[in-house]
Chain A
Amino acid sequence: MVQPLHYLKESASQTAGPYVHIGCTPNFVGIEGIFSEDLGSGALYNANAKGERISIRGTVYDGGGNPLKDALIEIWQSDAQGLYNSPSETRGAADPNFRGWGRSPGNMETGEFIFETIKPGKVPFNNGEWMAPHITFWVVARGINIGLQTRMYFPEEADANAVDPVLARVEHKPRLATLIAKKEEGNIYRFDIHLQGDAETVFFDI
């Protein structure tokens, strides 16, 4: 007889639905007085944080080219030294002035999301190679049954991107462009996410 393993099964995902803001960004939809501010809103850094301040703007598009006006986007990233502000970080203490996590709803009229953050440092891959600076994105919305994971890389890091072990997993090289933000004036990066179609963003099973 084969011995039983007794593992539980993960709870199944369900869509966040059109009213995800009620739970995750209530002040954004006018439910005020319960939480003083929406969790994950505002800059990810305070005045003492180390590193280069950047803005990320983008829009999530559906397969018809229409912007999603009801998406919720979260990011998770290392600090300027490449350390994560997490108890699971084993390599040292991250910058206490940088929280590493942020949450932004898409604008209800335009769909645009915005993050005020710092440019992350390089983080080692499991085999000791270096991953290029990147930010992990998680997208949920009405019509998305399980949260979609992707990464944003930086266009000025061409050399690091060229040897990034995660980007190397993408077999169809023209698709790599979907993971690289576009630099705009100032320190603004544009990172649009296409859920479906010719320009479909690369999504990961992490």
Chain B
Amino acid sequence: MTNRPPETGPFFARDRSIHPPAYAPAYKTSILRSPQRALISLEGTKSEITGPVFGHNMLNPLDNDLILNYARPGEMPIGPRILVHGRVLDERGRGVDGALVEFWQANAGGRYRHKKETYLAAVDPNFGGVGRTITDADGNYWFKTILPGAYPWPNGVNDWRPAHIHFSIFGHGFAQRLITQMYFEGDPMIWQCPIVKTIPDKAAIERLVAALDMNAALPMDMRAYKFDIVLRGRRSTLFENRMEGN
């Protein structure tokens, strides 16, 4: 943790033009699950600018190692080994320290370990597909995993999700709460996907595509992808008698 005092200002208004609308009919499930009335706007109150924080002491040593956290002793899951790393930042470019990052994914064949999943690709007995970590003082996070596979889903007749990892992030205020998905550089399935295309802004999609990062790769062990996550910025503390500014 840093010695920076906790920030207490409200958050920047969310720019909803870069987020998916609730109703995006090419993603069929959104049709009945989207509110039809306008959202009621509410500038941040105490109830939204505060939020839970989680201590590093809640983590187990293998929580950010999906290669080992479900494997039987002496075994490992099958698939390309990768390191995923990046920073959690806010819209002002500041690292968000102490942010809980949770992630989940399918295995190398595109099969999720979930009771309701029926895809015929095999479950990997050594892969659970879940992990979590907490960012350091500069907002950095990393985890080791297996490159997930694409998988089919019952939307269009022949729709397949690109390879992706789901992310859930807690910042410092409940208004920063975010769930998103990370995609992989060069995957041609990204631009076919109805869920990706719920996002109306091409640049916003590209910011969800992790870059291959050979500088962070571990030679003879695993390649690396870099994925930065941006949460909402906090309004200036300048007006609250502290001069750190924006």
Contacts and interface: CB of A to CB of B under 8 A. Distances in A.
Interface stretch (A3-11, A51-59, A182-190): A3-11
Contact of B130 (A23, A86, A142, A200): A23
Given A11-B229, A148-B35, A195-B33, A138 B46 contact: no
Instruction: Give the dominant DSSP class at B's interface.
Output: loop
B42 to A, nearest CB: 5
A75 B173 CA distance: 13
Interface string B35-57: 11101111111111111111000
A68 B117 CA distance: 17
A30 B177 contact: no
B33 A138 contact: no
Given A85-B52, A196-B32, A12 B103 contact: no
Contact of B93 (A6, A63, A126, A144): A6
A110 interface: no
B29 interface: yes
A145 B198 contact: yes
Instruction: Give the dominant DSSP class at A's interface.
Output: loop
B35 to A, nearest CB: 5
A23 B132 CA distance: 8
A124 B31 CA distance: 37
A88 interface: yes
A187 to B, nearest CB: 22
B32 A62 contact: yes
Contacts of A36: 60
Interface of B: 6-8, 12-16, 18-22, 24, 27, 29-37, 39-54, 58, 60, 62-63, 69-70, 89-93, 102-104, 112-117, 128-132, 166, 168, 172-175, 177-181, 195-196, 198-199, 201, 203-205, 207-208, 229-233
Interface of A: 6-24, 26, 29-31, 33-36, 39, 62-64, 66, 68, 70, 74, 76-78, 84-90, 99-101, 108, 123-126, 131, 134, 136, 138, 140-149, 151, 166, 169-170, 175, 195-197, 200-206
21 contacts: A8-B93, A9-B230, A11-B178, A13-B178, A14-B196, A15-B27, A16-B168, A22-B128, A31-B129, A35-B63, A39-B58, A62-B33, A63-B32, A66-B32, A68-B33, A86-B173, A146-B22, A166-B42, A200-B37, A205-B14, A205-B16
Pick the 6 closest A-B CB pairs, nearest first.
A23-B104, A143-B29, A143-B33, A86-B50, A145-B20, A101-B52
